[in-house]
Chains A and B, each alone.
Chain A
Amino acid sequence: MTAVRSVAAGMNGQIKMLSIKNLHASVGDREILRGVNLEVPTGQVHAIMGPNGSGKSTLSYVLAGRDGYDITDGSIVFGGEEIVETPAEERAAKGIFLAFQYPLEIPGVATMTFLKAAMNAQRKARGEAELTTPDFMRRVKVAAEKLNVTQEMLRRPLNVGFSGGEKKRNEILQMALLEPKLAILDETDSGLDIDALKTVSDGVNALRAPNRSMLVITHYQRLLDHIVPDVVHVMAAGRIVRSGGPELALELEANGYADYVGAAAA
């Protein structure tokens, strides 16, 4: 590995949690990310909006380290460290968390067992002591109550038979327990009714912190009424094509993505 960069500071002198430069990623012969540039300072919430097929979900998977993507060019620097070659489980231990658009159902693995295994695996990777069972139980209880995650859900196999809303609440529960430095929320609003959206958004907002950044990926503006971002980026055809304040989301809601789809194709 080449020399690890010291913590990168941006133009404004802000500490960068995440710095993506000229990122190209392909699946087979198909290039999906075509030069993504994105900087997320520590403590900020950035939203990425864009039409279907623009590469938003691919970006979230590539950041989390999923196999099956060829990174053909560019860099991902997280907390001052290049992570393009870092396996998914190590990225998680370093503090990257992906809330899945479609959380997986894992039959035969009790939710509690999974939570404990994940928390302790990350602690072990960071050289920290494993949690005692009472400490673990207390943390789960506190976090679960805030998200209306019942004890009954925690006893069930992971996500098996959970409703869409229960699955998303379970994702945010994992996020609360794993305390990531960077949380990527992939279409967290999809499949949620308005009440569930509020519960999930409140859960996410409660986790906003000066030392934590978030990347909120969404097709619709409505999630951003609840989780108000510092910066909104528009993604089209595998690139960030425009960035602005929260008002940009409202503009997209009014005008749609037609301009960007056209511009990207040109």
Chain B
Amino acid sequence: MNAEPRILNTPAEVTLAEAFSASRGHLPGDAAVAAARAVAFDAFQKKGLPHRRTEAWRYTDLRVLLRSVPPAPPAAPASIASAALLPGLDRARLVIVDGAYRPELSDLSGLDGVEVTSLATLLDQGDERVGALAGRLDDAMVALNTAMMTGGVAIRVPAGLDVTRAVEIAHVTSGAYSVFARNLISVGAGASLRVVESFTGPDAAASVANIVTEAVIGDRAKVTWAKLQAEGNAAVHLSTTAVSIGGESQFDHLTLMTGASISRSQSFVTYGGEFARAGLFGATMIGGKQHADIMLGVDHAVPNGASRELFKAVMDGKADGIFQGRIVVRPGAQKVDGKMMTQGLLLSEDASFSVKPELEIFADDVQCAHGATSGEIDEDMLFYLLSRGLPRAEAETLLVTAFLAEAIEGLGDEAIGEAFEQVARDWLADRKTLS
């Protein structure tokens, strides 16, 4: 490919270029950050919005789907309603409203010894963590985030610290704005952390959130991380998580997608040390005309890594569920054990599920497998429950919850799992009321 700039831009691309010109003078960061922003925007402009011929984005063509781009959020901080999300789950909360960390809305109790810093502060000071992982990704939307990021939060857990209280990074969008946030998580050697990432916003607000999170997990560290995408029903959600996991570390990650009109959640996990284990799980629940795309990249760069991926998706109405998963085993990365399974459950004739699992294996002594299934509710199981007197809606709810539970419980965190299963039950209850 040559680097010739494209002449024809979509209206959204034109708006983004105008937005960058207008805001670049007052985005946070020192001169080095400003220069990096310019380079990143240039990279974005050369690529343009991802489209169907961009293989990694083939099911989420943003040139078609992203018709317009909303304005930046107002300078005055928005007030937000307190969230009723995940009731019963005890956790500290770091609140990010419209891409700005808001310490006064946050609750840091239980985080003694953990360093929490506003990203805007880090950009002004300069910090080597920013872009350390995201900079390696060849992705237009990550480049756009690098150019436009306004804020977010950085969490650093020192070596050996066991943080028992879960930490929520709560992203709240207050209206129809463009939001660019960047978060950093560093977990020192032998430390442990439980992260909940939530994304919420009001219904009917056509917001576009582009969130990038970079996480470095040290040797022998243990990180459990659950993401809840529950954006408003007109929102566009584009998120990227780039994670590097150290030797003998354990990383368990769950993505639950239920909100937004259009959503794309991409995670890239790179093995930085041997004998690390990653469990990557997904649970998608969508209906209406929702579009939810999960993209996963697992890079076994070193030998003796294990990964298990289980992604489940339930589609109702005319919803489109998508899963793309790619496991790469680099040359010499022997004894890698990677298993990827994707299962779709279609609750309506008009819903669809697209799956593209990929294995790229350049080592000869590995165990890798992938599988995918898609179907409707099992009629035999349903009849069994009906024959015991369960009403049809209750029987369906039980079966769908059970279907998703395997992925949610895969995370291995009982408290977070229970809170996320409640989200699934609530979604099913709402679905029942609607039908």
Contacts and interface: CB of A to CB of B under 8 A. Distances in A.
Interface string B376-414: 000111011111111110110011011101100000000
Contacts of B381: 104, 106
A118 B401 CA distance: 16
A88 B389 CA distance: 7
B83 to A, nearest CB: 28
Nearest to A68: B379
Interface string A102-131: 011011110000100110011001000000
Contacts of B389: 89, 92-93, 118, 121-122, 125, 178
Contacts of B386: 65, 87-89, 92
Nearest to A92: B389
Interface in B365-383: 379-381, 383
B402 A118 contact: no
Interface residues of A, number: 29
A121 B387 contact: no
Contacts of B395: 89
A174 interface: yes
A162 interface: no
A64 interface: yes
B380 A104 contact: yes
Contacts of A64: 383, 387
Interface in B334-387: 379-381, 383-387
A136 interface: no
Contact of B394 (A67, A92, A121): A121
A65 B401 contact: no
Q: Specify which of B389, B390, B391, B406 lies most central, judged by the most chain A CB atoms within 10 Å of its CB.
A: B389
Nearest to A108: B402
Contacts of A100: 384, 387
Interface string A80-98: 0000000111011100011
A114 B388 CA distance: 9
B390 A106 contact: no
B405 A108 contact: yes
A18 to B, nearest CB: 16
- Identify which of B390, B399, B403, B406 gathers the most chain A CB atoms within 10 Å of its CB: B390
A66 interface: yes
Contacts of A108: 401-403, 405-406
A66 B385 CA distance: 11
A103 B384 CA distance: 8
A122 B389 CA distance: 5
Contacts of B380: 104
Nearest to A88: B386
The size bracket of the interface on B is 20 to 34
A114 B401 CA distance: 13
Given A66-B383, A104-B380, A121-B394, A174 B402 contact: no
Interface in B63-85: none
Contacts of A178: 388-389
Given A108-B405, A121-B389, A121-B394, A88 B383 contact: yes
B387 A65 contact: yes
Interface in A38-79: 64-68
A117 B383 contact: no
Given A104-B380, A104-B381, A109 B402 contact: yes
Contacts of A117: 390, 394, 398
B388 to A, nearest CB: 4
Contact of B387 (A68, A88, A106, A107): A88
A104 B380 CA distance: 7
B388 A106 contact: no
Nearest to A117: B390
Given A107-B402, A108-B405, A109-B398, A92 B383 contact: no
Nearest to A123: B389
B61 to A, nearest CB: 35
A109 B378 CA distance: 14
B384 A118 contact: no
A97 B389 CA distance: 9
B345 to A, nearest CB: 12
A67 B379 contact: yes
Given A106-B402, A108-B401, A89 B384 contact: no
B282 to A, nearest CB: 16
A91 B383 CA distance: 12
Nearest to B391: A89
A125 B391 CA distance: 9
Given A89-B390, A109-B399, 6 more contacts: A64-B383, A87-B386, A88-B387, A89-B392, A100-B387, A178-B389
Ordered nearest first, which 10 A-B pairs have the shortest CB separation?
A108-B402, A92-B389, A122-B389, A118-B388, A88-B386, A104-B384, A108-B405, A89-B386, A121-B389, A109-B402
25 contacts: A64-B387, A65-B386, A66-B387, A88-B383, A89-B386, A89-B387, A89-B390, A89-B392, A92-B386, A92-B387, A92-B389, A104-B381, A106-B381, A106-B384, A106-B399, A107-B406, A108-B406, A109-B399, A114-B385, A114-B398, A118-B385, A121-B390, A121-B394, A125-B391, A178-B389
